[in-house]
Chains A and B, each alone.
Chain A
Amino acid sequence: MAELSFTEEELEEIEKIKAKFPTAKAATLQVLWVAQRKYGHVEPDVQKLVAETLDLPASHVHGVASFYTQYYKEEQGKFVLDVCTCLSCQLCGGYEILHHLEDKLGIKAGETTDDGMFSIQEVECLGACGYAPMLQVTNGVYVNNLTKEKVDTLIENLKNGKKPEFESMAMPELEKRNQAAAE
């Protein structure tokens, strides 16, 4: 494998991140994010690149990368589906959604489809409890109020390269509040 490196543009971004903090070490999490967006994971060679870029011990970067769940320690599918099954999602059918997805894609949570398109992860509370069950697509957009049909549509769309868009839950809630007041 060729030696990994950041482009000039990425190095500029990293300098901006470093300028936020009094120490280079403080930039570790954010530079790991830059690296993961570029390479899709933070395997050991990527960690090494981050350590060298920030002039930090490789052990420190490894320690950080392995502590936080959103960093992919190995290569994942093109789309990583993080299904929340924590408390409120559990109550509202999060496991049914997870199992439906597992059946549909023919893999278990923690696995990747053979074609490299999808990975499924079971995750802890994502802070969308009122819109349960829900999932997050590759550390990005939340897809709320899931039904099996909504999951099927999401998978079809992703297969066709159509990513979900951010869905605001704020305005529907205002309507709900007004509804409550009217009763």
Chain B
Amino acid sequence: MANDWKSFEPLLIPDIPNLQDIEVYEENGGYDALRKILDDQDTWSRKSVVNEVKQANIRGRGGAGFNAGLKWSFMPEPDGGPRYLAANGDESEPGTFKDRKIFEYNPHLFIEGALIASYAMAVDTIYVYIRGEYISWVEMFEEAVQDAYDKGYLGDNILDTDISIDMEITYGAGAYICGEETAMLESLEGKRGYPRVKPPFPAQKGLWGRPTTINNIETLANVPLVINNGADWYGDIGSEEHPGPVLYGISGHVNRPGVYEYPTGVPVMDLINDVAGGIRGGKDLKAVIPGGSSTPPLRADQLEGVTMNSDSLKDAGSMMGTAGLVVMDEDTDMVEVLWRIAHFYHHESCGQCTPCRDGTGWLEKILIKIKNGEGEMKDLDLLLDLGNQIEGRTICALADAAVWPVRHTINRFRDEFEAKVKKSVHAVA
């Protein structure tokens, strides 16, 4: 896509002052997608909405990248009982700070998307779960929801139809794990955030045992775009296998950190140099974590031609994750960075599964030993071995997310780790 991205006009966070005001949102075509569907439910049956979104291939922006419409299609037929949409605004993956921008800047786009999703899945109640630290954004978002109720977009008989959907806002109290979808359901039910064993999947047994779909905030904000413009139009934005606009969160050693909206598929180096203004202090780039702390870091020399979409990042040896890029300059100590990531996962392990509860602790302990200059060469292999024994042996993916950066940081920056460990007595030189 070369330089096409430079002329892209933002869709999720367009340059429109006071877009958070419902009147401004309406003046700019807001709630048209919802109206279009509800006014013509013969054309826009529940099933055809699901199909349109499925065809658009909105890949989950919370990190997993799963086709949102396909996820919706897993919901069973209505049986007269309650059905839920749980919108995940718990963003806590280090390097990720984009959903708060939607709450602050374009909350109605998300509300409209959540309403369309709820119509498509015959959901009657939407729970929006926001991380507790985001209390400032919770308060802002509460106002937007109240405005939507006052205007008849939420509540009973929406836009004078027989469709009734409620939206309830709730928030956490500090726990990364609650961003894991089933842990979030537990937290919504007022419990400790312990991920659930799957199956049963939330679509079968979710909140209070009822069918539930969990979608990320940004994912749902993409839905009105698809309804307004069609799946084909959406599919032409960005990369073919991973289309649409994305909120790139760029942080670390760059001149202009922040959240920027561009299509998927922008070259990583363009995001760093052109969008974020290059590396601070004119230094050289050492590494990039492309999509939040759990996605493997890439060395500067691995980045040639790499673009921000799942296929390209997979080929390069990483993942799209949350599109939260963490940029590190040439002076960065990768051992310190990896220890800090390991500390995070150790701290945030919920403690349910032994391989994670104990394993993340051991990863951190060994890394502390190495960073303090007390490690030995064999500790590097011990870390890799430990990772192999943790991965895939737990209820949720937190343990895997802890292992990937350890494995790939050691493999890709091994010389830095070796330089910190004590020389073996058998060393020849």
Q: Which residues of A come within 8 Å of B, CB atoms?
A: 20-23, 25-30, 32-33, 60, 63-64, 67-71, 85-88, 90-92, 124-132, 136, 139-142, 166, 168-170, 172-174, 176-181, 183
Q: Report chain A residues within 8 Å CB of B258.
A: 130, 169, 172-173, 176
One of B72-80, B88-96, B303-311 at the interface:
B88-96
B46 at the interface (CB under 8 A from A): no
B332 at the interface (CB under 8 A from A): yes
Pair B274/A183 contact, Cβ less than 8 Å: yes
Pair B274/A68 contact, Cβ less than 8 Å: no
A-facing residues in B70-117 (Cβ within 8 Å): 82, 91-97, 100-101, 104-105
A-facing residues in B245-259 (Cβ within 8 Å): 249-253, 256-259
- Known pairs A26-B188, A91-B337; A130 contacts B174 (CB<8 A): no
Most buried by A among B92, B97, B100, B132: B97
B385 at the interface (CB under 8 A from A): no
- Known pairs A67-B192, A68-B175; A91 contacts B332 (CB<8 A): yes
B347 at the interface (CB under 8 A from A): yes
Pair B190/A170 contact, Cβ less than 8 Å: no
Minimum CB distance partner of B6 in chain A: A181
Pair B136/A166 contact, Cβ less than 8 Å: yes
Contact of A125 among B15, B93, B189, B337 (CB under 8 A): B93
Within the complex, the shortest CB–CB distance from A62 to chain B, in Å, comes to 10
Pair A70/B174 contact, Cβ less than 8 Å: yes
Minimum CB distance partner of A130 in chain B: B257
A-facing residues in B197-234 (Cβ within 8 Å): 208
Q: Which residues of B come within 8 Å of A, CB atoms?
A: 6, 10, 13, 15, 82, 91-97, 100-101, 104-105, 131-136, 168, 170-176, 187-193, 208, 249-253, 256-260, 274-277, 289, 293, 324, 326, 328, 332, 336-337, 340-341, 344, 347-348, 350
Q: What are 11 A-B pairs with beta-carbon distances under 8 A?
A: A22-B82, A26-B190, A67-B193, A68-B173, A91-B326, A125-B293, A130-B258, A170-B101, A176-B260, A178-B15, A180-B274
Pair B208/A129 contact, Cβ less than 8 Å: no
Pair A29/B190 contact, Cβ less than 8 Å: yes
Closest 10 A/B residue pairs (Cβ): A69-B174, A68-B173, A70-B174, A28-B190, A129-B251, A130-B257, A88-B251, A87-B94, A67-B192, A26-B190
Give bound CA distance, A83 to B285, whole Å. Answer: 27
Pair B95/A168 contact, Cβ less than 8 Å: no
Q: Report chain B residues within 8 Å CB of A32.
A: 173
Pair B257/A132 contact, Cβ less than 8 Å: yes
Contact of B192 among A64, A70, A129 (CB under 8 A): A64
Q: Report chain A residues within 8 Å CB of B189.
A: 21, 23, 25-26
Minimum CB distance partner of A64 in chain B: B192
Pair A25/B91 contact, Cβ less than 8 Å: no
Give bound CA distance, A71 to B172, whole Å. Answer: 10
Give bound CA distance, A85 to B340, whole Å. Answer: 8
Minimum CB distance partner of A85 in chain B: B340
Pair A130/B168 contact, Cβ less than 8 Å: no
Contact of A92 among B133, B249, B252 (CB under 8 A): B252
Within the complex, the shortest CB–CB distance from A181 to chain B, in Å, comes to 7
Q: Report chain B residues within 8 Å CB of A21.
A: 168, 188-190
Other 20 A-B pairs with CB < 8 A, given A28-B191, A131-B257: A20-B170, A26-B188, A30-B170, A33-B173, A67-B175, A68-B193, A69-B174, A69-B175, A88-B257, A90-B340, A125-B92, A127-B131, A129-B96, A130-B97, A132-B257, A170-B13, A173-B258, A173-B259, A181-B6, A183-B274
Pair A130/B133 contact, Cβ less than 8 Å: no
Give bound CA distance, A128 to B389, whole Å. Answer: 33
Pair B332/A69 contact, Cβ less than 8 Å: no
How many pairs of residues, A versus B, come closer than 8 Å at their CB atoms? 174
Q: Report chain B residues within 8 Å CB of A71.
A: 173-174
Pair A29/B341 contact, Cβ less than 8 Å: no
Give bound CA distance, A2 to B173, whole Å. Answer: 27
Minimum CB distance partner of A27 in chain B: B190
Give bound CA distance, A176 to B260, whole Å. Answer: 9
Pair B135/A140 contact, Cβ less than 8 Å: yes
Minimum CB distance partner of A173 in chain B: B258
Give bound CA distance, A60 to B252, whole Å. Answer: 40
Minimum CB distance partner of A31 in chain B: B190
Contact of A141 among B136, B192, B293 (CB under 8 A): B136
Minimum CB distance partner of B136 in chain A: A166
Within the complex, the shortest CB–CB distance from A17 to chain B, in Å, comes to 9
Minimum CB distance partner of A170 in chain B: B105
Pair B175/A130 contact, Cβ less than 8 Å: no
Pair A23/B82 contact, Cβ less than 8 Å: no
Q: Report chain B residues within 8 Å CB of A178.
A: 15
